[in-house]
């Protein structure tokens, strides 16, 4: 091979042959660190891949919440793992640039039916030590991302850090159990979207029905059980529409029952709506036995007045005005 050909080959090699990037090395170290950290306690069984060929995720893990009782996994979680030394920290909050939005899009577009977890491993400058953070790729997380851009800034708070001692891992296991439980419930909720006008129509019609039912009870104790059955069925629609109105007032558009329910859980003022819908959904199509409907109605009575107060203060709606009676 003459010198000219050798020089030509060298130039082509330097310009076109793929190299191993620093980011690739950091992600590989992150996978190794994560496999080691999460194995503690025998509740998380991971299948993470370093240098994997999957473009949208980095594997998965199976979650076994109570291995002493059963080794059957409760939930599979799809994951993305990022390792980096490039981040900013200010006031206890860490800012990390997620340079690919493929994984949030993968979860949000429901390519997978599993919940998604983003793990971020922050390395020291010499990569000899690390801190581990995580984010549940929830509908709220996805909703905050502008997918018209190529990257997103992820803010990591102290509560997002995973401490790898028993207390820290126990907190993680508890949150994973909650996510698994909510994910199952969420999949049973309606994913179709309703408008503000439709939500208001549901509220007005349902509240009129509830007012009529309660008025029937006045002075006639014998009707309490049968009327309570009717009320329990109406409460689900009222709670659903109120959840949607809450999301709309917070600036969300194209609101589904799924999104509205998830939003309510993070605000102490609306957490009761989150709990209420879950309780009503559990009752579902079950027909309470004689005497049970009234007890259920009494249990949910405080929720009814909280909804009334919310609709008055947040939406300017006066509903259930004629219901100021003791049941």
Higher pLDDT, 258 or 162: 162
Burial class (CB in 10 A: 0-12, 13-18, 19+), 105: middle
pLDDT given for residue 23 in this prediction: 64
Long-range contacts of residues 263-272, Cβ cutoff 8 Å, at least 24 apart:
263/140, 265/182, 266/140, 269/310, 270/243, 270/246, 270/310, 272/303, 272/306
Average model confidence (pLDDT) for the chain?
A: 79
Quick one: tokens of 65? 């919440």
Selection from 303, 314, 287, 313 nearest residue 210 by Cα? 303
Count CB neighbours of 252 within 10 A. 16
Give the Cα separation of 277 and 245 in Å (integer): 14
Identify the band that residue 42 occupies on the pLDDT scale cut at 50, 70 and 90.
confident
Highest mean pLDDT among 17-21, 32-36, 107-111, 146-150: 146-150
- Mean pLDDT computed over 73-94: 90
pLDDT in tens, 189-211: 777 788 888 888 988 888 888 88
Res. 213: pLDDT tops 60: yes
Selection from 112, 115, 58 nearest residue 81 by Cα? 58
Q: Give, in degrees to the nearest 5, the angle at Cα 21 between 19 and 25.
A: 125
Residue 126: strand pairing partners: none
Is 8-186 CATH 3.40.1360.10? no
pLDDT given for residue 93 in this prediction: 95
Question: For the chain, how many residues are written?
Answer: 327
Handedness of CA 82, 175, 178, 273 (dihedral sign): negative
pLDDT given for residue 214 in this prediction: 73
pLDDT given for residue 287 in this prediction: 53
Higher pLDDT, 256 or 301: 256
pLDDT given for residue 17 in this prediction: 46
Give the Cα separation of 104 and 110 in Å (integer): 10
Where do we find the tokens 């207390």? 167
Give the Cα separation of 182 and 206 in Å (integer): 27
pLDDT in tens, 270-289: 888 888 887 777 665 455 56
Q: Helix or strand or coil: residue 15?
A: helix
Element holding 118 (H helix, E strand): strand 116-123
Phi, psi of 279 (to 5 degrees): -65, -40
Highest mean pLDDT among 3-17, 79-93, 101-115, 258-272: 79-93
**Cα–Cα separations (whole angstroms), residue 133 to 130, 142, 249:** 10, 18, 31
pLDDT given for residue 20 in this prediction: 44
Domain range list for the chain = 8-186, 193-323
Buried/exposed 253-290: b ≥16 CB within 10 Å, e otherwise: eebbbbbbbbbbbeeeebebbbebbbbbbebeeeebee
pLDDT given for residue 12 in this prediction: 55
Contact 84, 123 (CB under 8 A): yes
Contact 245, 319 (CB under 8 A): no
Q: Helix or strand or coil: residue 192?
A: coil
pLDDT in tens, 99-129: 888 888 888 776 567 889 999 999 888 778 8
pLDDT given for residue 122 in this prediction: 92
pLDDT given for residue 326 in this prediction: 46
């Amino acid at each position: 091979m003459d010198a000219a050909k050798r020089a030509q080959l060298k130039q082509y090699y330097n310009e076109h042959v793929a190299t191993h990037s620093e980011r690739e090395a950091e992600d590989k170290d992150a996978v190794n660190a994560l496999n080691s950290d999460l194995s503690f306690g025998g509740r998380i069984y991971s299948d993470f891949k370093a240098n994997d060929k999957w473009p949208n995720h980095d594997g998965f893990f199976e979650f076994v919440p109570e291995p002493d009782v059963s080794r059957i996994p409760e939930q599979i979680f799809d994951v993305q793992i990022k390792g980096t030394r490039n981040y900013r920290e200010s006031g206890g909050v860490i800012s990390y640039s997620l340079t690919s939005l493929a994984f949030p899009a993968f979860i949000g577009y429901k390519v997978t039916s599993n919940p998604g977890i983003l793990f971020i491993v922050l390395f020291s400058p010499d990569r000899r030590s690390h801190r581990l953070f995580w984010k549940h790729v929830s509908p709220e997380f996805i909703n905050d991302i502008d997918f018209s851009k190529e990257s997103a800034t992820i803010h990591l708070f102290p509560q997002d850090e995973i401490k790898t001692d028993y207390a820290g891992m126990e907190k993680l296991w508890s949150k994973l159990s909650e996510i698994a439980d909510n994910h199952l419930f969420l999949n049973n909720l309606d994913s179709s979207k309703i408008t503000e006008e439709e939500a208001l129509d549901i509220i007005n019609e349902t509240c009129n029905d509830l007012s009529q039912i309660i008025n029937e009870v006045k002075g006639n104790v014998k009707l309490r059980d049968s009327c309570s059955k009717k009320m329990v069925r109406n409460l689900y629609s009222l709670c659903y529409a109120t959840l949607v109105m809450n999301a709309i007032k917070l600036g969300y558009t194209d609101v589904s029952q799924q999104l509205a329910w998830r939003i309510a859980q993070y605000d102490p003022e609306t957490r009761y709506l989150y709990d209420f819908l879950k309780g009503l959904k559990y009752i579902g199509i079950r027909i309470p036995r004689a005497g049970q409907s009234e007890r259920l109605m009494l249990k949910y009575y405080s929720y009814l007045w909280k909804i009334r107060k919310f609709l008055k203060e947040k939406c300017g709606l006066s509903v259930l005005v004629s219901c100021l009676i003791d049941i």
